[in-house]
Structure 1
């Protein structure tokens, strides 16, 4: 039984936004003013910037009780908070004087009650919402939270609708008017000392830490920050730096493997090209040997493309060009006596003499 779970707070905030729709000057009914079921949030037919006045018309609000009220835009005028000694009711119509003991007050509005003379001694400074300046509103009546151990006390149990992982559930908030360090037991109606860590409990209000665990014993306060041993920080630091350096080394080895693979590909390509070049040279050598081995070609002009010692000349090292012009061949000097006059003319042209036309 916690004071106000986060889920309950969010649900209440949502309900606050869902105010009425009637604007200033429009008709409304004060009989519709109520606390929403489950959240006990005040609701009226008027919108967030107005309240339902006694004339049945929505009137602009005259005060506010929250530091950051809902329903106002950046350019809207926000009403002021009430000065010290006054309070703004749920309707937020106007500031009113604090209510004395046994006076009427609204649900959970401890701030509406007048503080006791020793309010500094009774005031709740834990932030748990036990009281406001030593005053508490229980069952719509203002009281002082000054009941001592074993004295009769007043208790108020309010059931709120909350929502969790498993769905909707009832969250009961139990409050009393006992002195700090005590709680009002609903079964006996007496103020009892709060229980220590590890004691059996049935509600959060019974524990000094205000945390009754599901195991039925008082646990440490949920508001206390968790402290870890030094070795935990050391292990976490080693893990962080180890992860950083491990990532760097993993990237380094991965990239090095990729570089090695690329280098092997280039080396394989060079080997293939070199083997191809060697094959070309071998083919040329084979062609040369075949030509020289032909009968009568020992002194052929074809042999001039090779050196005398059998090695390739400089032209042999030149690249093979597909469109290179063919060099002159010795075959065109081949003499064939076929008895035709074209042979004589050809011979005369090659020797630089004119053919005999019969004039000499």
Structure 2
């Protein structure tokens, strides 16, 4: 799929998703965007397609929402309610429904639609929802143990990069327990790999981040600076500050000495000039007195 075709499909989806709340629709047109996997229908973001006639229904206001801040609503606009515990809101927002038991259908990557297992506290992790997971659109428990058969699910998301190139991001998930991953070749649960181990996909790593062929810390990991680096940096800063203070002190002292020398030279010049004026005045008076006595 070319970038131009993806762009055209996105524009078409936006056009199809913008009828008025009371417009006609068909639930047969409900689907997921092939690139972003976003739910798309004939109705706007604030409505869903409802009616007994599937091919000729009506867009009505959504009855629930799954996100705290749902897309498509303006600031200050009334929002549909969140679903209480034990229920979920489907992608279309047609109303809260009970959690789905294992083995029943669920919507793509909607783990929260699945009911939790009895031991959900032991099985819960960042890769599932209370020990339940939606793989291949079927609810199941993430409880497969080491060496047992497992199921994987690959979802590819497409996007357009800053230079117009197509970017594909494939997310792989499985139903193994925490600290295990489903080997895509043998379909068996294996231990996740520690940091700096060779890897191919993110689920292989305990950190769930495979970067440049090796397990690495996830991007959100806080940067921890060793104590010796802090001490060395602090010492360097103090030394630099002392050097700057000493340089400024010496420079100021030199300026004061230069100013004192200029003032002393100016003082001596003024004294010499005053003496010259006095001597000139005395000589003039003596000459005037001598000429007066002669006359």
Tell me the residue number matched to 2:293. Answer: 298
Tell me the residue number matched to 2:3. Answer: none
Distance 1:22 1:52 in 2: 11
Higher strand share: 2
> Over alpha carbons, which structure has the higher Rg?
1
Distance 2:162 2:238 in 1: 37
Which secondary structure does the structure 1 equivalent of 2:229 belong to? helix
**Is it true that 1:287 corresponds to 2:284 in the alignment?**
yes
Which secondary structure does the structure 1 equivalent of 2:215 belong to? coil
Which secondary structure does the structure 2 equivalent of 1:38 belong to? coil
Map 1:271-350 to 2 at 5 A.
Answer: 271-292=268-289, 294=291, 297-298=292-293
Map 1:104-119 to 2 at 5 A.
Answer: 104-119=105-120
Distance 1:274 1:43 in 2: 98
Q: How many residue pairs align between the two structures?
A: 277
Distance 2:183 2:190 in 1: 7
TM-score normalised by length of structure 1:
0.63
The one-character-per-residue Cα deviations of 1:82-132 (angstroms, maximum 9, x if unpaired) are 1122101122231112222232221110111122233233222xx2xx211
CA RMSD after TM alignment:
3.5
1:230 to 227, 250, 255: 227
Residue segments in structure 2 that go unaligned for 5+ positions in a row: 1-13
Which secondary structure does the structure 1 equivalent of 2:238 belong to? helix
Tell me the residue number matched to 1:170. Answer: 168
2:38 to 32, 36, 41: 41
TM-score normalised by length of structure 2:
0.75
Distance 1:121 1:274 in 2: 98
Cα separation, partners in 2 of 1:32 and 1:245, compared to 1, 3 Å: farther
Distance 1:47 1:30 in 2: 13
Distance 1:267 1:165 in 2: 70
Tell me the residue number matched to 2:91. Answer: 90
Structure 1 residue 146 displacement after superposition:
2.2
Structure 1 residue 244 displacement after superposition:
4.2
Tell me the residue number matched to 1:202. Answer: 200
Residue segments in structure 1 that go unaligned for 5+ positions in a row: 1-17, 301-360
